[in-house]
A and B are shown apart, each in its own frame.
Chain A
Amino acid sequence: AQKITQTQPGMFVQEKEAVTLDCTYDTSDPSYGLFWYKQPSSGEMIFLIYQGSYDQQNATEGRYSLNFQKARKSANLVISASQLGDSAMYFCAMREGRGDGGSQGNLIFGKGTKLSVKP
């Protein structure tokens, strides 16, 4: 079964508008972390934002915010005031804990959403 599901293969957004990229996850581990990465056409993976399973507040980093709904197992990325440079692939990823609070599992990635920002 897929652990990370991104249901939007592609999205379009008008410049300066906000956009939400969907991500749902599946885990039975109470301790986990959720990540969003941006991959421009050059290929490098750029870390955007992190949400821990025990964090009380939704994470925010500049124009990026994470809409974390734990009961629904959803971790959607919201990009406010889109810019042309936001056009890229966006990947949601999860890192499960080991349950003992110690070492963590490896990052598991979704298949990504291609965001295109229109001028």
Chain B
Amino acid sequence: DGGITQSPKYLFRKEGQNVTLSCEQNLNHDAMYWYRQDPGQGLRLIYYSQIVNDFQKGDIAEGYSVSREKKESFPLTVTSAQKNPTAFYLCASSIPGRDGYTFGSGTRLTVV
């Protein structure tokens, strides 16, 4: 079945470390997105990519970086510059149309 796979499900990071969250899709979707979710805040857009080798900053891109070398993959790196990285991270993909986004199951990142 087609879908989006995020890994790992849980991730622990020491302060000062960079960590990379994986997002892979086999839906043949052109666009991919990363959202951050904090309690009571809803989902906020970090980065998005409409095509391979191109991506744009969302509302809260500071302290994060992405790459889009393949259509299927859109990894997110949480850098040491992100001061409060503990959150739930959701990856999504889409094609233009009526069905919105397809989401992965998320990665819960905790700074220890």
Contact = CB atoms under 8 A, between A and B. Distances in A.
B105 A42 contact: yes
Given A104-B96, A106-B58, A112 B101 contact: no
A92 to B, nearest CB: 9
B42 A91 contact: yes
A106 B42 contact: no
B42 A33 contact: no
Given A43-B105, A111-B40, A33 B98 contact: yes
A5 to B, nearest CB: 11
Interface string A3-20: 010000100000000000
A63 to B, nearest CB: 19
Q: How big is chain A's contact interface, by range?
A: 20 to 34
Interface residues of B, number: 25
Contacts, number: 56
Given A33-B98, A103-B96, A45 B103 contact: yes
A32 interface: no
Interface string B39-67: 01111110010100000001000000000
Contacts of A111: 40-42
A79 interface: no
B100 A93 contact: yes
B21 interface: no
A33 B100 contact: yes
A107 B45 CA distance: 9
Contacts of A4: 42
A109 interface: yes
Interface in A102-117: 103-104, 106-112
Given A106-B48, A106-B58, A112-B42, A44 B98 contact: no
Interface of A: 4, 9, 33, 35, 37, 42-45, 47, 50, 52, 91, 93, 95, 103-104, 106-112
15 contacts: A33-B100, A37-B103, A43-B105, A43-B108, A44-B103, A45-B101, A47-B100, A50-B98, A50-B99, A104-B96, A106-B48, A107-B101, A109-B35, A109-B44, A111-B42
